[in-house]
């Protein structure tokens, strides 16, 4: 039974004024909440409440008038408490998405799921339609929630959409709470309810993002004055919140100018012998290597990734790519086709013209190199738009290319948000778009590109399986799982986030895994000892934490991590501890959806056919890994796994010589390797007659 709040009769024989009176009002309100929780609305008479409080009904009436007055004050107290929580959380939120989360978190906070508070709320909800004073309180509470949500949503989606989405979120908050209350909190608790709302909101925002069309085709083509133009954006260091730069978004005029410059320059570039184009790319590779430490530090500041990664991977792999395609540029060739004595045929492998690259934020410089190197080697000009969250190092690449002697206009960076991306995907002069991004963005890009029949290469998301058989070398398998989940704080598309472990090895695997995960060092990304840095943004961190909450609510066992890290200087950044779940089921949200954060799900299996079926039971198909000493099984498994990029006894290594890309919803086309040349060229077939024409006319 909830504890009553007896007031001391001796100390309050008569009404008092000032602070004492406020204290007494508060105490009486607390007693009223207890009473509502215990005997409900009807039983909570003035006399009953007075007797619980140990005071006379007259004293209660003195402070509140009558029962309605007391109940209205109590209802206001409950609503005000939430408002206060919302206000506090809004103050700490830094982004529109963070402010939406603040509203959700405050309304579905654990204290609102406490039985005593919950039953009191229910008692009021049952009365509001019959009691105008209570209705007033309820109206204010609802209006406030809606206006907070609408205000934040307007910065993310157009006005009308913001209005309806705010109403939906408010209804979900109330609905989720009500269902939980009516099931006596068996159906969900605060954490599960918040996770549900987080997933719902992210899903709706993502849908809105992919469906939103804020420009007409005419705008995209010609830069009409009615184009909706994003103004500018800032990039921050996600480890500290420090602002690193501000960029104006390229609108139609800037994009058109870039395309015109690229078109003019490309004709000459394509006519340059491949060996000369290659020499420029290789010079750029050397310059990148010379500037490795400076660029690695810039990448670390812009992305939050540890310097121990960016120094050895991000710049180096970009340079390798430029060097590799620099070498291939002179080897582009067509075929000779024998057509008998009267003719022969040949093909020319020609560039596409002006192409666009659109990058994601996890490997900004590497992605810019992976796209530009094959494009330029083949004689195309590229306009590249980095992700708005990481605009810095693509600009440096442009600088490096210029230093290496690349003709003006052949590689140009345009900055901006999705609208700028759309200007590229819809531009009739641009003949191809290569995107690295989410599946929904891939669909939007392909839809837009279809209007002008552009070619597309889509490197999209994944939820890849990493399979460990009983006979695997367990330390290697654990190392692979660590690389495949916690490198770049888990923000890697090919990550093996579904770790299937055969039952016989599961205990040993788990034991070594946990030891190594617990030893991982989360910290300042610029500290060379740091192994796990910050996530890219607060919004993304909130999304990842939402998934973790969802995993717990759906019954996965948390073996490590599971929370934000805010120790010392990390408090201003977006750090999440490396997280491992086991006892996972295939139907859990954390097992089905791409999280793009440091969250590993461990699943157990018995035999090969079972794990194969479970591994392939996903819409994604980017990558897969198999750990086993049985070589025939390894190749048999790889042949049957539905994935574009596979590893045997390793994970997440991507040498430039090997094509990289996905199947199913993970993408189209390939980057890297000789294969990428196919995607940046077109074939011209030529028939050559060797005899006079024998015409039947």
Residue 309 CB coordination number (10 Å): 22
CA distance 545 to 10: 51
Q: How many helices (H) and strands (E) does the chain have?
A: 26, 20
Instruction: Name the nearest CA neighbour of 141 among 163, 165, 124.
Output: 124
User: Nearest distance from residue 526's CB to ligand NDP, in Å?
Assistant: 23
What strands, in cross-sheet order, belong to the sheet with 381-385?
Answer: 411-413, 381-385, 354-358, 430-436, 455-459, 667-668
Q: Per CB under 6 A, does 633 bind ligand NDP?
A: no
425 or 652: whose CB is closer to ligand NDP?
425
> How many angstroms separate the Cα of 157 from the Cα of each of 152, 272, 503, 537?
9, 46, 47, 19
443 lies in the binding site for ligand NDP (CB under 6 A) = no
* Nearest-approach distance from CB 676 to ligand NDP, in angstroms: 12
Tell me which residue of 602, 605, 448 sits closest to 517, measured CA to CA: 602
User: Is 493 marked active-site?
Assistant: yes
Applying the rule CB under 6 A, the residues between 94 and 153 that interact with ligand NDP are none
User: Residue 198: which of 440, 537, 463, 542 has the closest Cα?
Assistant: 542
For residues 283 and 550, which CB has a smaller minimum distance to ligand NDP in the complex? 550
Q: How many residues bind ligand NDP (CB under 6 A)?
A: 30
Indicate which single residue of 238, 252, 274, 421 sits in contact with ligand NDP (rule: CB under 6 A). Answer: 421
Q: Select 32 or 303, whichever has its Cβ closest to ligand NDP.
A: 303
Query: How many C-beta atoms lie closer than 10 Å to residue 241's C-beta?
Result: 14
Q: Which stretch binds ligand NDP (CB under 6 A): 283-291, 385-393, 399-407, 507-515?
A: 385-393
Q: Is residue 332 involved in binding ligand NDP (CB under 6 A)?
A: no
Q: How far is the CB of 359 from ligand NDP (least distance, A)?
A: 5
- Under rule CB under 6 A, residue 359 binds ligand NDP: yes
Q: How far is CA 65 from the centre of its chain?
A: 54
What residues from 163 to 192 belong to the interface with ligand NDP (CB under 6 A)?
A: none
Contact 156, 96 (CB under 8 A): yes
Q: Which of 74, 190, 441, 542 binds ligand NDP (CB under 6 A)?
A: 441
**371: closest CA among 403, 401, 347, 330?**
401
Active-site residue 38, yes or no? no
- Contact between 309 and 333 (Cβ < 8 Å): no
684 is catalytic: no
What mask of x and - would describe binding to ligand NDP in positions 565 to 604, judged by CB under 6 A? -----------------------------x-x--------
Angle at 528 between CA 527 and CA 534, to 5 degrees: 55
CB closer to ligand NDP out of 318 and 437: 437
Does position 360 interact with ligand NDP (CB under 6 A)? The reply is: yes
**Identified binder of ligand NDP from the candidate list 229, 422, 454, 463, rule CB under 6 A:** 422
Among 30-38, 441-449, 516-524, 575-583, the segment contacting ligand NDP (CB under 6 A):
441-449
Contact flag: residue 513 with ligand NDP (CB under 6 A): no
- Smallest Cα–Cα separation from 506: which of 478, 547, 527? 478
Is residue 418 involved in binding ligand NDP (CB under 6 A)? yes
Mapped onto helix, strand or coil, the DSSP state of residue 378 is coil
Q: Which of 432, 493, 538, 604 is catalytic?
A: 493
Residue ranges of the alpha helices (H) in 429-537?
439-450, 474-486, 503-518
Neighbours of 403 (CB within 10 A): 12
Instruction: Decide: is 622 part of the binding site for ligand NDP (CB under 6 A).
Output: yes
- Among 269, 361, 469, 581, which residue sits at the site for ligand NDP (rule: CB under 6 A)? 361
Q: What is d(CA 466, CA 659) in angstroms, rounded to the nearest whole number? A: 19
To the query of whether residue 604 is one of the catalytic residues in this protein, the response is: no
The beta-strand segments (E) located in 279-366 are 336-338, 343-351, 354-358
240 binds ligand NDP (CB under 6 A): no
Q: Which is nearer to ligand NDP, 490 or 561 (CB)?
A: 490
Under the binding rule (CB under 6 A), the answer on residue 444 touching ligand NDP is yes
Catalytic residue among 30, 112, 323, 459: 459
Query: Could you list the residues that contact ligand NDP (CB under 6 A)?
Result: 358-362, 385, 387-388, 417-418, 421-422, 425, 435-438, 441, 444-445, 459-462, 493, 594, 596, 622, 662, 667
Active site positions, annotated: 371, 459, 493, 671
């Amino acid at each position: 039974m909830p504890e009553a709040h007896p007031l001391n009769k001796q100390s309050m024989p008569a009404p008092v004024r000032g602070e004492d009176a406020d204290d007494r009002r508060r105490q009486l309100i607390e007693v009223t909440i207890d009473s509502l929780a215990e005997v409900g609305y009807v039983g909570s008479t003035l006399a009953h409440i007075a007797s619980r409080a140990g005071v006379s009904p007259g004293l209660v009436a003195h402070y509140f008038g009558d029962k309605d007055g007391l109940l209205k004050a109590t209802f206001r107290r409950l609503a005000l408490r939430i408002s206060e929580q919302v206000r506090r959380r809004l103050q700490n939120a830094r982004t529109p998405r963070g402010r939406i989360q603040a509203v959700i978190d405050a309304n579905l906070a654990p204290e609102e799921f406490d039985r005593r508070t919950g039953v009191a709320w229910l008692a009021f909800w049952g009365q509001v339609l019959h009691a105008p004073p209570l209705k007033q309180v309820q109206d204010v509470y609802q209006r406030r929630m809606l206006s907070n949500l609408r205000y934040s949503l307007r910065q993310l989606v157009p006005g009308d959409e913001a209005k309806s989405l705010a109403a939906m979120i408010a209804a979900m908050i109330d609905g989720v709470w009500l269902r939980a209350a009516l099931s006596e909190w068996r159906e969900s608790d605060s954490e599960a309810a918040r996770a549900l709302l987080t997933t719902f909101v992210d899903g709706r925002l993502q849908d809105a993002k992919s469906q939103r069309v804020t420009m007409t085709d005419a705008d995209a083509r010609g830069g009409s004055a009615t184009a909706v133009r994003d103004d500018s954006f800032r990039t921050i260091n996600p480890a500290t919140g420090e602002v690193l730069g501000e960029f104006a978004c390229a609108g139609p005029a800037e994009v058109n100018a870039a395309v015109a410059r690229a078109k003019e320059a490309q004709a000459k570039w394509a006519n340059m012998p491949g060996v000369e184009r290659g020499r420029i790319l290789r010079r750029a590779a050397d310059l990148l290597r010379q500037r490795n430490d400076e660029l690695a530090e810039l990448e670390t500041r812009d992305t939050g990734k540890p310097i121990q990664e960016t120094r050895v991977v991000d710049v180096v792999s970009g340079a390798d790519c430029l060097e590799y395609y620099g070498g291939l540029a002179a080897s582009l060739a067509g075929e000779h086709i024998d057509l008998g004595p009267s003719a022969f045929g040949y093909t020319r492998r020609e560039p596409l013209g002006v192409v666009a690259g659109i990058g994601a934020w996890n490997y900004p410089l590497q992605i810019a190199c992976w796209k530009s190197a094959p494009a330029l080697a083949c004689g195309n000009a590229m306009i590249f738009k980095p992700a708005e969250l990481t605009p810095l190092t693509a600009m440096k690449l442009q600088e490096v290319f210029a230093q290496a002697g690349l003709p003006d206009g052949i590689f140009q960076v345009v900055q901006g948000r999705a609208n700028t991306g759309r200007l590229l995907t819809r531009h009739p002069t641009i003949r191809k778009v290569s995107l690295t991004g989410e599946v929904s963005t891939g669909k939007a890009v392909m839809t837009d590109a279809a209007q002008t029949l552009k070619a597309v290469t889509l490197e999209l998301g994944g939820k890849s399986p990493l399979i460990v058989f009983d006979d695997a070398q367990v330390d290697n398998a654990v190392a692979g799982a660590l690389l495949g989940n916690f490198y770049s704080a888990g923000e890697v598309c090919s990550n093996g986030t579904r770790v299937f472990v055969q039952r016989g090895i599961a205990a040993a695997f788990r034991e070594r895994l946990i030891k190594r995960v617990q030893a991982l060092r989360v910290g300042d990304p610029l500290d060379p000892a740091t192994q796990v840095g910050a996530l890219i943004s607060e919004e993304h961190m909130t999304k990842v934490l939402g998934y973790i909450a969802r995993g717990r609510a759906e019954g996965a066992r948390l073996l490590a991590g599971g929370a934000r890290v805010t120790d010392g200087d990390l408090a201003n950044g977006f750090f999440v501890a490396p997280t491992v779940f086991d006892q996972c089921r295939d139907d859990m949200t954390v097992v089905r959806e791409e999280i793009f954060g440091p969250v590993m799900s461990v699943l157990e299996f018995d035999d090969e056919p079972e794990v194969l079926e479970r591994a392939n039971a996903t819409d994604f198909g980017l990558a897969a890994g198999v750990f086993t000493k049985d070589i025939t099984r390894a190749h048999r498994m790889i042949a049957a796994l539905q994935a574009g990029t596979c590893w045997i006894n390793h994970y997440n290594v991507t040498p430039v010589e090997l094509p990289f890309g996905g199947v199913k919803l993970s993408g189209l086309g390939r980057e890297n390797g000789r294969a990428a040349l196919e995607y940046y060229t077109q074939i011209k077939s030529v028939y050559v007659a060797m005899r006079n024409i024998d015409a039947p006319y």
